[in-house]
Amino acid sequence: METRPNPLAAAGFMLLASSLIAGTTLMAKLVGRDVLGDPLHPLQISHGRFLFAFLAISSVVGIVRPTIRTANLPLHIARSASGWTGISLMFAAVAFIPLADATAISFLNPVFAMILAIPLLGERVGPIRWFAAATALVGALILIQPGAGSVHPAALLALVAAMVMGFEITLIKRLTGREAPLQILWINNGIGLTIATLAVIWVWQPPTPAQWAALAALGFMMALAQTCFIQSMKRADASFVVPFSYATLLFAGLYDFTAFGVVPVTTSLLGAGIIIAGGILLAWRESRRSR
């Protein structure tokens, strides 16, 4: 059944998704540092994310019982592998740098997706989109500060994570329209859980009860965030809802300040602002192209 346009509901769903996504990075930071027990390896954190997200989505599938159509497994595997790699790198990064900085760098996903879409999807990129991409990359350079004497390795991890997840976006574009959103989410998290389980064998350690709770919260929040994102995109144009997704940065900064007392510095605010400006320009141009 087609969903009627509802901009107010779309904005609400996107803001809720943003708060949840920022919450997942907070949970990853809590279990990746010695806050709730001995720090867990990023691979174990990503395993918990896929485990509990898969359980949550499987519960929905069991209730809704959607029609599962033939899936493009090679494409799903590639998408899930890139998603697992990107999220594992991001979880490793947030343990060492402010949540707001890692979140801002993650906003480069659409930029890398645009660049990768040229060879992978055969898309043409005009001057406005190149300008938007260059603007966002300038913001990233301000955050990473390559001329400051030494670059924090965790910032580079976040940058590589954004690149990998940009590749994932190009794969999602190929899946969208071919398969139902719930089917895509379910298969993606199932394959991701399989990959994460094989990888975590070598680094797994018994989590504390508090860490189990944080991992469960991380997985359930991610599943709910994905659902809210889809509901938001169904109710309004991307050009309207995408700017609301940048509220993730505000939530990340708030959570980091509340939990760890981290106060953003001027360079962080400047770099994040430039990345957001480039991202909004790119989203606007993408919406014009789609029309």
Domain ranges of the chain: 7-290
Cα Rg of the chain, angstroms: 18
Return the pLDDT at 291. 59
pTM of the model: 0.84
pLDDT in tens, 80-94: 999 999 999 999 998
- Separation between Cα atoms, residue 37 and residue 208, nearest integer Å: 6
Provide, rounded to the nearest whole percent, the portion of the chain with pLDDT above 90: 30
- Separation between Cα atoms, residue 282 and residue 201, nearest integer Å: 40
pLDDT class of 3 with cuts at 50, 70, 90: low
CA 77 vs. chain centroid, Å, equals: 18
- Separation between Cα atoms, residue 255 and residue 71, nearest integer Å: 38
Return the pLDDT at 95. 87
Find the helix or strand (DSSP H, E) in which 187 lies: helix 181-200
Q: Of 185, 251, 220, nearest to 19 (Cα)?
A: 251
pLDDT class of 145 with cuts at 50, 70, 90: low
Provide, rounded to the nearest whole percent, the portion of the chain with pLDDT above 70: 90
3-state SS assignment for residue 179: strand
- Separation between Cα atoms, residue 170 and residue 86, nearest integer Å: 14
DSSP assignments along 30-47, one per residue: HHHTTTSSSPPPHHHHHH
- Residue 151, pLDDT above cutoff 70: no
pLDDT in tens, 238-290: 667 777 777 888 888 889 889 888 887 777 788 888 888 887 777 776 666 65
Check if the beta carbon of residue 26 is closer than 8 Å to that of residue 49: no
pLDDT in tens, 169-197: 788 777 766 778 888 889 999 999 999 99
Query: Which residues have C-beta within 8 Å of that of residue 116, sequence separation ≥ 6?
Result: 166, 167, 170
Q: Of 123, 102, 127, 148, nearest to 268 (Cα)?
A: 102
Check if the beta carbon of residue 281 is closer than 8 Å to that of residue 131: yes
Check if the beta carbon of residue 62 is closer than 8 Å to that of residue 54: no
Check if the beta carbon of residue 195 is closer than 8 Å to that of residue 81: yes
Query: Which residues have C-beta within 8 Å of that of residue 185, sequence separation ≥ 6?
Result: 57, 223, 226, 227
Q: Which residues of 4-24 are buried (b: 16+ CB within 10 A; e: fewer)?
A: eeeeebbbbbbbbbbbbbbbb
Query: Which residues have C-beta within 8 Å of that of residue 234, sequence separation ≥ 6?
Result: 3, 10
pLDDT in tens, 22-71: 999 999 999 999 889 999 999 999 999 999 999 999 998 998 888 878 88
pLDDT class of 20 with cuts at 50, 70, 90: very high
- Separation between Cα atoms, residue 156 and residue 235, nearest integer Å: 36
Q: Of 29, 126, 130, 100, nearest to 273 (Cα)?
A: 100
3-state SS assignment for residue 65: coil
